[in-house]
Each structure stands twice: as C-alpha cells, then as structure tokens.
Amino acid sequence: MGPGGRRHRLTSRTRRAPGLLDRFHRPGQVVVTAFAVAIALGTALLSLPFATTDGRSTGPIEALFTATSAVCVTGLALVDTEAHWSLFGETVIIVLVQIGGLGIMTLATLFTLLVAGRVGLRARLAAQAESAMAYTAGPRRVLRDVVLFSAACETVLATVLTIRFATEYDFPPGRALYYGVFHSISAFNNAGFALWPDSLVRFVSDPWICLPVALGVIAGGLGFPVAFELARAWRRPSRWTVLTRITVGVSLALLAAGTLVFLITEWHNPATLGPLDGSGKLLAAFFTAVMPRSAGLNTIDIAQMYPSSWLVTDALMFIGGGSAGTAGGIKVTTLGLLAFVIWAELRGETRVNIGHRRLPEAAQRQAVAVTVISAGLVALSTYLLMVLTPHSLDEVLFEVISAATTTGLSIGVTAEGPPAGQALLVLLMFVGRIGPLTLGSALALKERTRRYELPEERVIVG
C-alpha cells in the first residue's frame, strides 16, 4: 500500500464524529441550550397529573414558572409547594434545584469524563462559561472537588436538620429525613424552596434550624474556588488570591451591615422583630441579612417589613454572593472590583492595584458591563411590570430584583400578577441564572477581532 493510502487510513482512524458541543460556535450557546432543555423537561414533568396532590394537571404558566425557578435556583413560586405538589412533584423540583446548583455544564463535563475518560477543549470551555471556574488543577480534580464539596455540605446540613426535626418537632423518621434532605439541598444551592407556606417563619427563634441553614447558604454562595482555597489555606490569609480576599472581605462587610441595619430598622416592628427577645431579634436579623445572597428563605414576614428594609434588601439582592457558586446577583467580586476602580480613579492612578497585584483592564470592563447591564435589565423590567400590575414602585422593584438575581424572596406580587407579568419574571430568572454576558455571547453570531488601533481622543466625563 502506498504512502497516500497509509495516511488515509490513519486519518480515518483518528477522525471522530462531531458531538453536541461541536455544533455550537460558542460555549455560551451550549449553556443556554442546556438550561432551556432542563427547564422544558421540568415543565413537562410538573405538568403531569400525578405531580400534584389533587391529580389534576398544572397549568402551563405555573409549571413553566416552577421549573424555571427550580433550575435557576430562585425559589419564587405561584403555588404552595407542599399543598400543590405531590411527592413526585416535590422530588422533581428538588432534583432540578440540584442540577441547577451544580450547573448543567459541570454535570455534562462529569458525564463526559465518566464515559470517555477524558474531556475535550470545547466541553471544558463550556463548563467554564457556566461556572466561571478556572481548571488550573485539571478538570478531573475540579469536578471531583465540586461534587464532593456539595455532597459533604448537603449531607452535614441534612443530618443536623433531620435530627432537629425528629427530636424537637416529633417528625416521624422518614418525614424528618425527607424534610432535612429537601431543605439542605434548597439552602446550599441558594434555591429558596420550602415545604411550609410561610417558608421558615415558624423556626424564627430556633438556632438549630436557622444557623445551619444560614451557614449552608453562605457555603454555597461563597463560590467553589474560594471555598477550596479557604479549605487549603484558611490559616494563611496573606497567601489568599485576590478573588478570595475580595469575596471574604465584602461578604463579611455586607453580612455585618445587613444585620445591623435590619436590627435597627425592624426592632420595634410588631409584625417582624418586635415580638422577639434580644437574642431572637439578633438571630432573625442575621438570617434576614444572609438570605438576600440569593437564598430566598425567610423567618420573618418579608411583606410586613418597612419599605426602608425593602430598599436595603434590594441592594443586598442586587449584589448577591460569590462568583462560581450557587448565588446570583452581580456578585460581591464585581462590587469589590468596582470599589477599587473608583478608589484608583479618585487618587488619579492610571492602574488599579489590589494589594500586590494589578487588576487587568479586561476585568474592569467586565465588572462595569455586568453592573450596567444588570441595572438596565432591572430598570426596564420594573417599568414593564409596573405597566402590567397596579402595585407600587417599591413592591415591583423588589420582585424584579428578586427574580433577576435568582433570590426568591417575595412580598406577594409574583403570585398576584397577570400571566404576562409572570412570563416576564420567568425570563428574568433565566437571564439572571445564565448571566447577561453569557447570554449575549450565545446570541452573537461571531467574534470580530479588530486588527488595528484608532487614534485616541479624550472625552469630557461628568
């Protein structure tokens, strides 16, 4: 056989069939498609008659809204989770929450590793696009650590809750285990789904319920890279990366400020903190400050809070939690980067430095873009929802930010709104989970790299 035939045989042997990821030009397209497929599948399952307690099919809006809220780990609901959904329906919801929390692309990469024994470049880029994680330690190790970390946190939280439900509230063992597992997955993935119509209000003074749930929310909302680094070097803060320093510092500041503000504002409110004693007020205020990280659970009636507390909650929800975690919002990292950019501008410095590191200009542009796009999305959606509903600005703004940041806190506007308004919130949850920049890259046709530089011209700002 001649050399040409041999080359042909080798080429044929090494050629592989194009996979799903190869059909997309950008990883963001895979992310959008995967989330859309998961939501469609969840909607179909929740529409089945045996997914409800009364054996009737759920309407398309309710099923779509619930599936989107679960996959996007939001927690907003149009129906009472325990009263409306059967055991099958609740199981579908919590499985969708778990899938959304870990990330469709992270699970897809894990399956690729299990089946093929390796991961391709496109699959790796797709997983990074969804989770913003850098695979510096190798995809196998990262995926293993993510799954083990999630499973460990959820197991510990479920164990504590199960024991508490069984010993203090006389739940039968099976029910205590089910409630413990359900709420541990909901809390760690910052989902906000609860099996009581008042969320966790009945446990407002129980530290064995509130503190584990709050710690689970914080652990899931820190972000996997930060959590891994803290586990390795929690005793050596001087060796932390910029990401970890900003995430931990800003998170602690927001938790402390939020707790203090809610304590001062709601101290004498008879519908929230007023009836509680001193320790109960502190516990409830801390829990309320944690939940806007995008968890959505509550131990006080959010609808009865003062409008000033709603405004603070709006700000905390808009910021959200850490990058590459289960939390939503623009992320505490973005807020920290913007703070350093502003500080450098006020000092007249041409470079933005954080400690002994220089912040790349690309990261600065990305932080500004995420903030501006998110703010514009919230403003436009608030206007549209005000046109569709008779509610006030502060009420509508609260619901819009809660949906756009996948938080799930509600003051009752969501369930009372028209189908068009609920459809708008579905879109907000979808965009909020995927991220404006990821969605934009998925919709773009192709990249254009400028191969020349234009002359610079100064523009007056302000």
Amino acid at 277: D
| Positive or negative: CA dihedral 274, 277, 279, 284 | negative
| Domains of the chain: total | 1
Residue 171's φ and ψ, nearest 5 degrees, are: -75, 140
Mean pLDDT over 23-28 rounds to: 53
Q: Each residue of 334-384: pLDDT tens digit?
A: 999 999 999 998 888 888 888 778 888 878 888 888 899 999 999 999 999
Asked whether residue 357 is assigned to any structural domain, the reply reads yes
Check residue 76 and give its pLDDT. Answer: 93
Euclidean distance between CA atoms 389 and 415, whole angstroms = 12
Res. 11: pLDDT tops 70: no
The residue segments making up the domain with residue 291 are: 23-441
Residue with more model confidence, 369 or 305:
305
**Of all residues in the chain, what percent are helix, strand and coil, respectively (each to 5)?**
70, 0, 30
Res. 250: pLDDT tops 80: yes
CA distances from 346 to 61, 337, 339, 433 (A): 49, 14, 11, 33
Asked whether residue 455 is assigned to any structural domain, the reply reads no
Residue with more model confidence, 259 or 104:
259
Euclidean distance between CA atoms 55 and 57, whole angstroms = 7
pLDDT band at 4 (very low <50, low <70, confident <90, very high): very low
Residue with more model confidence, 70 or 119:
70
Check residue 8 and give its pLDDT. Answer: 44
Check residue 125 and give its pLDDT. Answer: 54
Q: Where are the beta strands (DSSP E) in 134-182?
A: none
Please state, rounded to an integer, the average pLDDT across all residues of the chain: 85
Mean pLDDT over 218-226 rounds to: 88
pLDDT band at 128 (very low <50, low <70, confident <90, very high): low
Euclidean distance between CA atoms 433 and 443, whole angstroms = 16
Check residue 229 and give its pLDDT. Answer: 86
Res. 27: pLDDT tops 70: no
- Are the CB atoms for 72 and 433 separated by under 8 Å? yes
Point out the least confidently predicted range of 29-38, 100-109, 233-242, 385-394. 100-109
Check residue 412 and give its pLDDT. Answer: 85
Q: Each residue of 433-455: pLDDT tens digit?
A: 887 656 555 545 445 666 778 88
pLDDT band at 308 (very low <50, low <70, confident <90, very high): very high
User: Which secondary structure element, helix H or strand E, spans residue 357, and what is its range?
Assistant: strand 357-358
CA dihedral of residues 121, 126, 132, 136 (deg, nearest 10): -20
Distance of CA 100 to the CA centre of its chain: 9
Res. 103: pLDDT tops 90: no
Asked whether residue 297 is assigned to any structural domain, the reply reads yes
Euclidean distance between CA atoms 42 and 33, whole angstroms = 14
Q: Each residue of 253-280: pLDDT tens digit?
A: 999 999 999 999 999 999 999 999 999 9
Check residue 81 and give its pLDDT. Answer: 93
Burial class (CB in 10 A: 0-12, 13-18, 19+), 76: buried
Please state, for a pLDDT cut of 90, what percent of the chain lies above it: 59
Euclidean distance between CA atoms 198 and 316, whole angstroms = 22
Mean pLDDT over 59-85 rounds to: 94
